[in-house]
Amino acid sequence: MPTDGGSERIFELQEEVQQLKEAVVSHAVVDQAIGMVVALGRVTPDQGWAVLKDVSQHTNVKLRTVAEMILVWGRSGVMPPEIRAALEEALDRYGPTEIPGVPPPP
């Protein structure tokens, strides 16, 4: 039978497991949003990460929330105007990169 210390430890471990689950989901959301930024903005994955951070910092919105908004935008075409503006500005700063085999625009 667990002592009070044992029960407390079990509770701590349950909280830690929950936090780890949330971190995995958050990481997946951010990775998916980076993928969208890479594909649509023609930037590298590192630039996609920088774009997300830039948008987050310039809008004072948590990075995961920005990532979620980008994923919703991909499904629905809807994005808050301030996030869209910050995203467009960040993409102007970080990209686009040249696509291999495609001549640069005139």
pLDDT band at 11 (very low <50, low <70, confident <90, very high): confident
What average pLDDT does the chain have? 86
pLDDT band at 21 (very low <50, low <70, confident <90, very high): confident
Whole-structure pTM value: 0.72
| 35-80 confidence digits (pLDDT tens) | 999 998 999 999 999 999 999 999 999 999 999 999 999 999 999 9
Q: Quick one: tokens of 36?
A: 């969208």
- For residue 69, the tally of other CB atoms under 10 A from its CB is 20
Mean pLDDT score, 80-86? 94
Domain spans of the chain?
17-94
Distances 22 to 12, 17, 52, 103 between C-alpha atoms, Å: 15, 9, 19, 43
